Each structure stands twice: as C-alpha cells, then as structure tokens.
Amino acid sequence: MPSTRRPSYRTGTRRPAAGGVSPSSDVISASKDGGPTGGAAATVTPAARDNVLSFPEPKAKRRRRIRQGIIGSLAVLVAGLIAAAVYSPVLAVQTVTVEGTRLLTAEQVQSALEPLQGKPLPQISDGDVTALLQPLVQVKEVSTQARPPSTLLVKVTERVPVALVRQGDAHQLVDADGVKLSDTADPASIPLPVIDGGGGTLPKDLFHAITGVLGALPADVLARLSNASAKSVDAVELKLVDGQTIVWGNAGEKELKAKVLEALLKAPADPKNPVRVYDVSVPRHPVTR
C-alpha cells in the first residue's frame, strides 16, 4: 500500500528577517471593534512611512492660495499709502480758494478758515469747514474739494435775501427764514420789498408768514414789490412798485399762488380797466379788480 505522509507543523517563533526586523513587527492585528489587539500599542516603522504616497497640491487650491497672498500684500500696501497720504505734510493746505460769495467777500471766508492752514487735505471734511464758517450767518451750505498738492476749494451757497426790514431809520436784509444777513444804509438801491416793523419788532409769527411768502416768489416778481405787510398770519398783503395790491392770504399753497400771480402779472393790461388788486388767496379761483 502506498504510504500516506501526514503534513507536519512547526511551532515556535519565526526567525527574524535580514536586518534584524521581524516580519511580524510590520503587521498590526485588529480586533473586531477596530482597536489593536494585545497589550502593546501599534507602531508604524520608518520603512512603512517611506511607503506612503505623496499627492501633489490641486492646481485650483494652489492658485487660490497664491491669489489670497497677492490680495493680502496689496491690501497692506494700499493701507500704507493711505496712511502716508493722510498724514503727509506734502498735502498740507497752503491756499484756500473761495467760490459763490456775493454777500460775503472771499477774504472773509478765507480769514474764517485760517485754522486749516498746514492741515493735510485728506483730514479736512465739509463738516470741519461748516463749523468754522458758522459765525458767518450769510452762509447756508458749503462743500469742499481738495486740489492736491496744497489747495482747498470751498464752494459757498449763501442765503438769498428776500426783503428789507425797516425799524426806525435802520434797514436790515433778511432771507426767507428771517435770518438777518446785513444792514444797509441805502435801501433804495436794493430791489426788494420792505417789511415795516415800525418802532418795535414784528411778532415772530407775522414776520415768518411774510418772509415765507416772499421766499416763494420768483425773482422777477420779487423785484417788482415795494413792501409787504400782514395784519395776521392769514392776511398777508404785498404792494407793487406801481401801487397795485396783492392779496395773498395765508401761507398755504404758496407755490401755487406764486405761479398764479406770475401768470396774472404777465397778462396784457387793459388801459381802460387797469387792475388795482390781484387776489390769489384762493389760487384756483383768482380774482382781479
């Protein structure tokens, strides 16, 4: 009978491989729950680390990283340039140019803005200029424009005079808000209506009712007025230089009343029946007589 040879099994420890490293030392045995078995912690040898593949950085990520770096550098550069401009003595104010003055002179405005001399242009705002010009009541609004290296342009919007207020022998120029702009010794040379305050002062409500009406009139109509008065806030009357009377009424619908009055004054005159009174107190139904 042929002999049957049973396989043999060898027990014991495996011989270390060349170099003194046991082949089994690179093997990590794991339990069912995913943790390493045995009491010893799992280790990765230098030889195993050498076998890890290194993938190149994606092009999109690399481009994004480079772009962010460039943007950051530019931001730092721009911030530095702005800081240099804001504080640079090269941009210090040496000249102030003034436009838009009629009641005031350019020299009056320049004198009020003297504290700005030597201050860098980027540090000057409209608010700074407005605050310095506040004592000049003729100034209503102001805007500025820097003209490097050392010039500040100041554009002034002045208040518009609408009447002369007579109190005794004195005449004061006022605007629609009742702000007193200046005194004049020659009222006849100013083509504006006169508000007669008598020996005292007009009540504030009457004064503002009159100036509010005058402020709504076109310049050509305003120039034809000789005086303005009010017995009450609902009874404002105007006089033309030729003696005609304008019954205005209260301050309501003043823009519409101004347009109606302007149209009536432009209508052809009838020599046989001259108009003595223009009544626009009800502007949608004006009356002439």
Q: Which amino acid is at 247?
A: V
Give the CB-side neighbour count of residue 258, counting CA atoms within 13 A: 16
Same CATH topology for 92-158 and 161-288: the answer is no
Backbone angles phi, psi at 126, to 5 degrees: -60, -35
Domain ranges of the chain: 59-88, 92-158, 161-288
Class of domain 161-288: alpha beta
What is the rounded CA–CA span in Å between residue 157 and residue 199?
Answer: 33
> Is the pLDDT higher at 104 or at 48?
104
Cis peptide before 149 (omega within 30 of 0): yes
Q: What pTM was computed for the model?
A: 0.64
Segment 53-59 mean pLDDT: 68
pLDDT in tens, 13-23: 444 444 444 44
Name the packing angle between helices 254-266 and 204-216 (round to 10°): 50
Q: What is the CATH number of domain 92-158?
A: 3.10.20.310
Given a cut of 70, whether residue 30 has pLDDT beyond it is no
Find all residues with CB under 8 Å of 114, minimum gap 6, and list them. Answer: none
C-beta of residue 164 within 8 angstroms of C-beta of residue 195: yes
pLDDT digits (tens, 9 = 90+) for 235-256: 999 999 999 999 999 988 999 9
